[in-house]
Amino acid sequence: MDCLETQTAGADGKAVMEQPVDVTIVIVSYNVRQYVRQCLESIERVRCKHSLQVIVVDNASHDGTIEQLLPQFRWVEFIALRDNIGFGRANNLGIEQARGRYTLILNPDTILSEDTIEAMMRYMDTHPEVGICGCKVLNADGTFQEQCRRGFPTPWAAFSKLFGLQTLFPRSPLFAQYNQSFRSPDETYYVDAVIGAFMFCRTEQLRAIGGFDPDYFMYGEDLDLCYRMAKAGYRTAYVPMSSIVHFKGESTRRSRINDVRVFYEAMVTFARKHYGSKRWFLLLLQFAIRVRELIAHLAQYRQGMLLLLADVALANAMLLIATTIRFGEPFGFQSYAYPIVFVVLSAVVIVCMIAVGEYFEFSYRVRNVVMGYMAAFFVLSSLTYYWKEYAFSRGVVLMTVGLSMIGSGTVRFVLRYRQRGYAQSTQRRVLVVGTTDAASEILHAMALHGAPIAVVGIVAVEPTTDETFAGFPIVGHWGYIERLVEQHAVSEVIITDRTIPRSDVIGTLAALAPRRVRFFFAYDDVELHAQRIIADVGARRLELPPLLRLRYRLLKRLTDLLVAIVVLLLGWVVLILKRRSIQAWLKRWWSVLVGRRTIVGLHPSGNSHYAGIREGLVSLPMLVPEQLRTDALIERLNEYYVTEYSPSLDLEILVRSIHRRTLER
C-alpha cells in the first residue's frame, strides 16, 4: 500500500482517521504558496515512515494557497481564515485539532530532511524531561541560523543584543547570551528557547500551558512558549541530529509589516510579561528600540550623508589649497579665524546645497552643484560686509568655491554614471507592473532592442493565482511593491497599468526614494518608451514630487511654526475684541504649532493618502463650493497640490481663501 492508502485525511479537515498519530505538523501560511508547496512536498517524502497529521492554517492569503494546493495534497487538512490573526493564534487553531503524541510547529518556508521527524521522535522518546526541542536550522546558502537556539532576553542579554555587544563579542558567554553563538552548533544541549520555525513539542504539555500567547502577533511567541514550558517544569533542547532549510522572512517580505519594529516590540511584550517588576528594564528596552529605529532610518540616507560629508571635506580642503596659493601657507589667516572659518564654510555649503535639492532628494545633478556653490559664494561674500575682521581675501573665497564646485561636480558625474547603469559592473534590475498589453509589448520591445536590463519579474495589480506572464514569473502584486523591490534589489520600476491610483504611486515612490529606485510610465507609445527607457534619455520618469522633498518640507514647517507662534501670541486679542470663541481657534492653531496639521495642505479624503503630508487649515478643494466637492474632485486637487507644489502656490491658495471668506461675509 502506498502513502495515500495508509494515511488519508480530508482536505476540509473532516474526514479524519481513528488510528493513533505519531506527529501532528501545524503550518501557518500567509501568501507563500510556493513555499508551502515545497514544504509539503518534503513532508510527503516521509509520510510512509510515520503516522502523520498535517494541518495548514491559512491566514487569509490572497495568492490562491488553498485553491492551488488542495487538489495536489488531499492528505492535508486545510483551515482557511478570513483575517490574518497572527502566527500564534493561527497555530493555536491547529493545536486544538492535533491528534499526535507530538506536535511540530513548522514554518511554511522550510524544507525537512528525510530523517528530521524520526530523529526528533527518538530524542523525545528517550528524554521525558524535555517539552520542546529544535533541530539545526540552515539558511538557503547552507549557513547556520544562530536563532535556532537562544537564551531568554533577560535584562543583560537584551542590553547586549540591542547595543551591539553580542555582535562585537560573538564568542563571549557574557555578551552572547541571547543567540548563544559561543556554543557549538553541532552538540546537543539544553537551551532557553528554540526558533519558532521548528518547534517539536509534546502535545499534552503544549495544551496544558495553553499553546501560544495571542498577545504576540508575530515574533516573540516562541520565546514566550519556551519560557512557560520551563515554568511548567519541562526543558527545551537543541538537537542537531538532523537539519532543515529555512528561507527566513518570506512571509514578512510579502506583507507591509515593519518586521524590525515588530521584533523589538515583541521583546518589550515579553519583558513586560515576565520581567514586569523591572520598570527600568522596560524603559531601557523602549529607548533602545527607538534608537535602533532611528539608526535604521538614518541608514536609508547613508549615501546622502556620505555625499554631504564628502562635500564638506572637499570645501575645507579647497579652502586650505586656496589659502596656500594666496598666502603661501594653508593657515594664512589670522589665528582668531580658526576654526570659525571651517565651521562657517561647512554650514553655508550644507545649507545652500540642501536648498537646491542635494543629499536627500536621491539624485545626482551637476547643475545643482553649480547652483549651490553660486549661492554659497554669494552668502560667504555677503558675510564679510558684516564681519570686516574676516574679510581676508575674496580671491580665496572665489578659488575655494570654484575648486569645490569642480570637485563636487566630478563626484556627481561619476555617481550618476554608475546609477544610470553605464558602468559594466552595474546591472539595471527591473520590475514591470501590470499584466496588460502594454506590459507584454514593452517586454517584447526591450528584448528586440537588446536592452541591457534584467527583468526580474512581473508585479500584478491585484492578487492572482497566475504564476507567469509573457514568459516572466509573477513575483507578487502591487500591495507589496516595497517588499518586492527590496527582496529583488530592483533599481527600476516600469508601470504599465493606468488603474493604479496616482496617490499610491507617489506614496510608493516616496517610500522607496532612499533606495533611488526609478519609476517609469509606459501606458501607450510602448515602442518609443521602450527605446527611451533602454537609453534612459527623455523617458517618462516620475520624479519625487516637490512637497515630498526635504527642502520644501523644512520651509513649510518653518513657515507653519513662525505663523502659528505669531497668531497664538497676538490673535487672541482680536477674538476677544470681536467676542468670539477662543477654544476652537486655539485648538486649530495649536495643532499647527505641534505639527499635526499645516496652514495650507491636503483636504481630508478617503481615497488619496500621502504619507508624511498633513491636512491643512486651508486646502485647494476649499476654493470650490462645498456642493461641488466630489470625492473624485478632491482626489484630483490633492494630487495636483502634491505634484505641483511651490511656496507661491501656498500663498495663492491662502490669498484666494481669505478673499473668498471676505466675499461670503
Burial class (CB in 10 A: 0-12, 13-18, 19+), 426: middle
pLDDT of 210-242, one tens digit each? 999 887 756 678 888 999 999 999 999 999 999
Q: Mean pLDDT, to the nearest integer, of 576-605?
A: 84
Q: Which pLDDT score is estimated for 538?
A: 44
Asked if 527 contacts 445 with a C-beta cutoff of 8 angstroms, the reply is yes
Q: Which pLDDT score is estimated for 393?
A: 84
Q: Where are the domains of the chain?
A: 3-251, 302-419, 428-544, 553-664
Average pLDDT, the chain: 82
DSSP 144: B
Question: Residue 191 above 50 pLDDT?
Answer: yes
With bands split at pLDDT 50, 70 and 90, how would you rate the model's confidence at 200?
very high
What is the percent of the chain where pLDDT is above 70? 83
Q: Which pLDDT score is estimated for 15?
A: 45
Q: Mean pLDDT, to the nearest integer, of 99-108?
A: 96
Question: Residue 181 above 60 pLDDT?
Answer: yes
pLDDT of 279-337, one tens digit each? 777 777 777 767 776 776 677 677 788 899 999 999 999 999 999 999 989 998 988 99
Q: Which pLDDT score is estimated for 289?
A: 67
Q: Which pLDDT score is estimated for 545?
A: 78
Q: Which pLDDT score is estimated for 553?
A: 86
Q: Which pLDDT score is estimated for 426?
A: 53
Q: Which pLDDT score is estimated for 325?
A: 93
The rounded distance, in Å, linking the Cα atoms of 475 and 467 is 8
The partner residues of 491 in beta bridges, in order of sequence, read none
Q: Which pLDDT score is estimated for 407?
A: 93
The topology under which CATH files domain 3-251 is: Spore Coat Polysaccharide Biosynthesis Protein SpsA; Chain A (3.90.550)
Which of 216-220, 348-352, 385-389, 622-626 bottoms out in mean pLDDT, i.e. has the lowest?
216-220
pLDDT of 544-577, one tens digit each? 778 878 788 888 999 999 999 988 888 777 777 6
Residue 155 CB: number of other CB atoms within 10 A?
15
C-alpha cell at 592: 499647527
Greater confidence (383 vs 191) lies with: 191
Write down the pTM of the prediction: 0.60
Asked if 217 contacts 270 with a C-beta cutoff of 8 angstroms, the reply is no
Q: Which pLDDT score is estimated for 487?
A: 82
Q: Which pLDDT score is estimated for 584?
A: 80
C-alpha cell at 560: 507653519
The topology under which CATH files domain 428-544 is: Rossmann fold (3.40.50)
Q: Map residue 207 onto helix, strand or coil.
A: helix
- For 112, 435, 474, 484, 510, the CA distances from 462, given in Å and listed in that order, are 32, 10, 11, 14, 21
C-alpha cell at 664: 461670503
